[in-house]
Amino acid sequence: MTTNNEWLQRYSDSILGVFGTPPLVLSHGDGCYVWDVDGRRYLDLVGGIAVNALGHGHPAMVSAVSKQASEALHISNLFTSPGQVLLAERLLEISGAPAGSRVFFGNSGAEAIEASIKLARRTGRTGIVAAEHAFHGRTTGALALTHKAAYREPFEPLLPGVTHVPYDDTDALRDAVNETTSAVVLEPVQGEAGVIAPAVDFLREARDITRAAGALLIIDEIQTGIGRTGTWFGFQHAGIVPDAITLAKGLGGGVPIGAMVTFGPDVSALLTAGQHGTTFGGNPLAAAAGLAVLGAIEEEGLLDHAQRMGEHLESAVAAADIPHVTGVRGQGLLRAITLDGPISAAVATAARDAGFIINPVAPEAIRLAPPLVIQAEQLDALVSALPDIIQEATEE
């Protein structure tokens, strides 16, 4: 049998090194657990970075994808399929989109952002305002909205006209938005920044500011959407109606898919026939996966469950009073356990050795985005193990 280390050597010899060298070679999963090729089991508290909304091997996903694979995988966008239409209708329904709203399907979150940039350009304006520490993807258009210098600088000059303002700073946003602004693009919770949630009023103020300036408000729900924060979409916590949202990650439950939802007839009319396109977006397989995810979330009550499990984690961590842990932040099951020093990478390594997959998203924060089906006892297992994990991580 080829071992984990042997696979990793072959990985390094064959895969372009843009991701660095991964620590594990995973072979399969079941629910909230995954196994490496050496047969070791791990509790998956990252969920493919918020992608595996139903975990691994969920019966609804297996059934839907298997059935669709036996019928049709791809038909091109020269045609459509019942599944594509049904998924679009369902997204319009759960997002509360008004009459005249529409959906564009792509393959990824970055592709959804690219569509939103073109949507914004069709207003006739070129300025875009995004937030500091934002992450919107790594394609060149999306990269212009992403803030991290290490991601941007090797590829500059990027798309012109993008301004970054401090997140959750209403005054800075108001000062930056003017008659040249085509759109403001914001995440409801900044995941890559370390799971930073703004004040509820921030998105409401952003809505008022953009409306007054005649600019679009585009909410990036790529990580926060599809139940991750305890509502279908993160913007719903603020009670606003955006002009567009971008989706991906949890929507396909592991099958690649992205989407942009445009709200209302005026915004939906900005992109017309021939102005955008994609080869694979919304194909029958992706649509079947999306419908299975949305159906299971509704049937199993996973929105409320995500909210309860997130609160349970927060309470359990607080009660455990773990050295070097300062708290839990975030919404629903998009959470960060915060630390009193830059030890998250060492904690993630020690956690992996103990059988837990977590994400050191920032030097002083561990991101958790587990499958929405995770149970309290599984979260408790991490909390119980954290003192020993952190002790190992902080030993000299």
Which strands, in side-by-side order, build the sheet including 41-44?
26-30, 33-36, 41-44, 356-357
Instruction: Tell the burial category of 187 from Cβ atoms under 10 Å away from its Cβ (0-12, 13-18, 19+).
Output: buried
Q: Please, which contacts does 4-8 make with residues 24 or more away whose CB atoms are closer than 8 Å?
A: 4/36, 4/37, 4/38, 7/37
**279 belongs to an annotated ligand binding site:** yes
Retrieve residue 142's tokens: 């999306």
For residue 266, which of 95, 100, 121, 81 has the smallest C-alpha distance?
Answer: 100
User: Rounded CA gap, 47 and 371, in Å?
Assistant: 5
Q: What is the CA radius of gyration of the chain?
A: 21
User: Rounded CA gap, 156 and 144, in Å?
Assistant: 9
**278 belongs to an annotated ligand binding site:** yes
**84 belongs to an annotated ligand binding site:** no
**110 belongs to an annotated ligand binding site:** yes
**123 belongs to an annotated ligand binding site:** no
Distance of alpha carbon 189 from the chain centroid? 10
**222 belongs to an annotated ligand binding site:** yes
* Residues contacting 125, CB < 8 A, separation 6+: 179, 180, 181, 182, 215
Annotated binding residues: 109-110, 135, 138, 220-223, 278-279
Annotated binding residues for N(2)-acetyl-L-ornithine: 138, 278
Annotated binding residues for pyridoxal 5'-phosphate: 109-110, 135, 220-223, 279
